[in-house]
């Protein structure tokens, strides 16, 4: 065969082989890795669950196995936690950058330090924030965020609409930021995303589960909702489409697989992030670096007290304490309640703190449990029941003893349990059993801790999801006041 013939034959064979190759196929499944409501770098539950170092390991494993995947974050990152009271969330942005998040949306707590601080965090982010219904003045997109986003994992165009609860206007400190109607904005953005060729539309939301379900009912163009705001792992289906939430504090990684055949079928699972997972070395170094810096920062003075502060058990668990008064006043002011009730057992150290400087570390020693300030509306009769519960174990120096703000009460431990409260005043008036009052308390008591189950019978106005961390609120109050001098004022009177 001549050289020319050989070339013709090779070209023919090459053409045949090329024609025989299968056409490129689209992946059958999109895997969405997701997490939400993470407030600190390190592990929770005494080190047993969560931690960005372990989360990084779990994410890396799944990305290695599932190439057509996205890593999404559904809001609440930069607050609240003790470390964020120091770093204002910058430490978590650092971790998210290292984790390689593909997209995130805002949670209500993103605004806890005000919109200007949030703008700084957005600028530090090497991943896109997509928030469709949050606007700067003039109905402009919030600085630095995307009103919508199209990503192409595995060549599949995936549209992202980001939605934040409109309650952020009252749950946080958004300044002059405004919040558009979730459903109206979603419908318009979905139309834009489809026009831009999105084959799949994911709503990345920080809404209640009820709102997420309503979103799927009202906006049929959404294929999948990846949500936050609810701190428990939740899943629901509406018209064959899925809502999935992955709990909180990086205790789980959500893995949701969406079929790309147009059926909208999806499968959701949770992957444990716990002490069985080895830490990612690079992320572990970041976590350790911030832990060491936090330790140094906790020693920094934040103010001073002109008087000794009484945290002795025989005071906070049996009588009025000036430190208990200060903490209860901070709680009441933090959520704008009529009165505050907190358990003396939540105030620790069993010591008389001397007059002088106060550091962040001192506040954490008094309030080590990470409790959150909540607000509930109850009747005066319920308040009286709560106070009766609080003095019911006075003889045992029990932790349920109530430190208060906005009210005064008189009790006699010599009387039978259930009838020890002799008098209660709110302001200058007797407690009205039939009237409704707002009560600031902590999330432990709202859950029925220390026997305070009666508080949960009221209407929750500020939930544990939305309230400030108590230790942070106390630190911020001391920083504002610079010098504190709380007194025993006759809020609690003991009659033998």
Tell me the domain boundaries of the chain.
29-294, 301-494
The predicted pLDDT at position 80 comes to 82
What are the residues facing 33 on neighbouring strands?
71, 255
Tell whether pTM > 0.75: yes
The predicted pLDDT at position 9 comes to 31
Mean pLDDT of 156-164: 97
Distance between CA atoms of 194 and 240, rounded to whole angstroms? 20
Q: Which two tokens stand for residue 52?
A: 């960005």
The predicted pLDDT at position 86 comes to 87
Q: Cα 98–103–108 angle (5° rounding)?
A: 100
CB atoms within 10 A of CB 303: 18
Average pLDDT, the chain: 92
Q: Which two tokens stand for residue 395?
A: 């003889």
Distance between CA atoms of 49 and 107, rounded to whole angstroms? 22
Q: In what order do the strands lie in the sheet with 402-405?
A: 402-405, 339-343, 436-442, 373-379, 459-462
Contact between residue 55 and residue 98 where contact means Cβ atoms under 8 Å apart: no
| Residue 11 confidence (pLDDT) above 60 | no
- Per-residue DSSP letter, 444: H
The predicted pLDDT at position 394 comes to 97
Distance between CA atoms of 215 and 238, rounded to whole angstroms? 9
3-state secondary structure of 454: helix
Distance between CA atoms of 225 and 239, rounded to whole angstroms? 13
Provide the CATH topology of domain 29-294.
Purple Acid Phosphatase; chain A, domain 2 (3.60.21)
* Reported confidence tier of residue 25, pLDDT bands at 50, 70, 90: low
| Residue 95 confidence (pLDDT) above 60 | yes
The predicted pLDDT at position 21 comes to 33
**Nearest residue to 213 (alpha-carbon basis) of 245, 255, 247, 181:** 245
Instruction: Kindly give the interhelix angle for 182-195 and 209-218, rounded to the nearest 10 degrees.
Output: 50
Q: Which two tokens stand for residue 405?
A: 């703000």
% of the chain with per-residue pLDDT over 90: 85
Contact between residue 66 and residue 16 where contact means Cβ atoms under 8 Å apart: no
CA atoms within 13 A on the CB side of 14: 6
Q: In what order do the strands lie in the sheet with 407-411?
A: 429-430, 421-426, 407-411, 492-494
The predicted pLDDT at position 97 comes to 98
Residue 29, sorted as left (phi over 0), alpha (psi -120 to 50) or beta, turns out to be: beta
Mean pLDDT of 150-158: 95
Which option is the CATH number for 301-494: 3.40.50.720, 3.40.190.10, 3.40.50.300, 3.90.780.10? 3.90.780.10
- Per-residue DSSP letter, 91: H
């Amino acid at each position: 065969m001549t050289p020319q013939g050989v070339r013709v034959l090779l070209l023919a064979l090459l053409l045949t082989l090329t024609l025989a190759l299968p056409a490129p196929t689209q992946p059958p499944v999109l895997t969405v890795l997701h997490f939400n409501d993470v407030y600190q770098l390190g592990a929770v539950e005494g080190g047993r669950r969560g931690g960005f170092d372990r989360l990084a390991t779990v994410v890396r494993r799944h990305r290695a196995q599932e190439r057509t995947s996205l890593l999404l974050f559904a809001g609440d990152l930069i607050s609240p936690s003790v470390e964020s009271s120091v770093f204002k969330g910058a430490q978590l942005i650092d971790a998210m950058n290292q984790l390689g998040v593909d997209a995130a949306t805002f949670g209500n707590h993103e605004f806890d330090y005000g919109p200007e601080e949030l703008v700084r965090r957005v600028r530090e982010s090497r991943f896109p924030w997509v928030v469709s219904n949050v606007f700067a003045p003039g109905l402009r997109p919030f600085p630095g965020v995307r009103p919508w986003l199209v990503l192409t994992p595995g060549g599949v165009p995936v549209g992202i609409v980001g939605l934040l609860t409109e309650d952020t206007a009252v749950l946080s400190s958004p300044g002059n930021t405004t919040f558009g109607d979730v459903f109206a904005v979603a419908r318009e953005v979905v139309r834009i995303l489809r026009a831009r060729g999105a084959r799949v539309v994911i709503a990345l939301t920080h809404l209640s589960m009820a709102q997420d379900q309503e979103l799927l009912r009202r906006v049929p163009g959404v294929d999948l909702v990846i949500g936050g705001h609810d701190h428990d792992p939740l899943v629901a289906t509406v018209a064959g489409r899925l809502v999935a939430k992955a709990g909180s504090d990086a205790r789980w990684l959500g893995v949701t697989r969406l079929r790309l055949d147009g059926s909208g079928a999806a499968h959701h699972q949770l992957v444990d992030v716990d002490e069985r997972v080895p830490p990612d070395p690079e992320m572990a170094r970041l976590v350790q670096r911030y832990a060491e810096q936090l330790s140094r920062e906790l020693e920094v003075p934040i103010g001073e007290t002109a008087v000794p502060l009484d945290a002795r058990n025989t005071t906070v668990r049996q009588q009025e304490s000036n430190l208990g008064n200060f903490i209860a006043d901070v709680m009441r002011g933090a959520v704008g309640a009529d009165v505050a009730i907190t358990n003396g057992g939540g105030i620790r150290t069993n010591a008389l703190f001397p007059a002088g400087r106060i550091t962040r570390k001192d506040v954490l020693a008094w309030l080590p449990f990470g409790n959150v300030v909540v607000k509930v509306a109850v009747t005066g009769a319920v308040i009286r029941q709560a106070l009766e519960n609080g003095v019911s174990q006075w003889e045992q120096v029990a932790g349920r003893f109530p430190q208060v703000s906005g009210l005064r009460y008189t009790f006699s431990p010599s009387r039978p349990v259930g009838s020890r409260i002799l008098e209660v005043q709110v302001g200058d008036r007797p407690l009205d059993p039939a009237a409704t009052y707002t009560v600031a308390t902590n999330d432990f008591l709202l859950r029925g801790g220390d026997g305070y189950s009666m508080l949960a019978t009221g209407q929750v106005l500020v939930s544990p999801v939305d309230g400030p961390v108590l230790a942070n609120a106390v630190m911020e109050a001391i920083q504002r006041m610079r010098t504190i001098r709380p007194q025993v004022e006759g809020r609690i009177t003991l009659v033998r």
